[in-house]
Structure 1
Amino acid sequence: MVVTELRAVYWGLRRIFAAHPGRPVEVRVDNLGALALLHEWQNGGDRMPDGYETRLRSQGRRPSLVKLQMYAEYTPGLTFVHEKAHVGNPLNEAADSLAKLGLRSLHGRVPVTEIPRLVPLWASGALAEYRRGRDRERG
Structure 2
Amino acid sequence: MTATQFRCLLACLPDPLTARVVRLQRYVLVSLDCTGCQEVGVLLKLALLSARAGDLPAAETVLHLAERTLRALAGHDHTFAPPRITRLHRPRPRPARSAAAPSPGPALAGQVARWTGTRPLVAATDASWKRGHGGMGFLTTDGRWGIGDWKVGPQDPTGPSKIIITELRAVQLLLSTVEARVEMTVLIDSLPALSYLWRWQSGDVSALPPGYEAPHLRLLARRVADRPRLRFQHVKGHSGHLLNEAADSLAAIARRRAPGFDVEARASDLVDSFLTSWNQQISA
TM-score range, shorter-chain basis?
0.7 to 0.9
* Superposition deviation, residue 111 in structure 1: 3.2
> What code does the residue aligned with 2:189 have?
D
1:50 matched to which residue of 2?
Answer: 210
2:229 matched to which residue of 1?
Answer: 77
* Superposition deviation, residue 2 in structure 1: 1.5
TM-score normalized by structure 1? Answer: 0.73
Q: Mapping of 1:1-139 within 5 angstroms?
A: 1-17=163-179, 21-45=180-204, 46-54=206-214, 62-63=215-216, 65-105=217-257, 110-111=258-259, 114-134=262-282, 138=284
Separation in 2, partners of 1:67, 1:86: 30
> What code does the residue aligned with 1:42 have?
Q
The structure-2 alpha-carbon separation of the partners of 1:115 and 1:49, relative to structure 1 and needing over 3 Å to count, comes to same
Gaps of 5+ in 2: 1-162
Report % sequence identity: 34
> What code does the residue aligned with 2:177 have?
R
> What code does the residue aligned with 2:172 have?
Y
Structure number having the greater strand percentage? 2
* Superposition deviation, residue 44 in structure 1: 2.4
Structure number having the greater helix percentage? 1
Greater RCO, 1 or 2 (C-alpha within 8 Å, sep 6+): 1
The two structures, once aligned, show a CA RMSD in angstroms of 2.3
The structure-2 alpha-carbon separation of the partners of 1:91 and 1:81, relative to structure 1 and needing over 3 Å to count, comes to closer
Gaps of 5+ in 1: 55-61
The structure-2 alpha-carbon separation of the partners of 1:113 and 1:13, relative to structure 1 and needing over 3 Å to count, comes to farther
Q: Secondary structure at the match of 2:278?
A: helix
Separation in 2, partners of 1:68, 1:87: 28
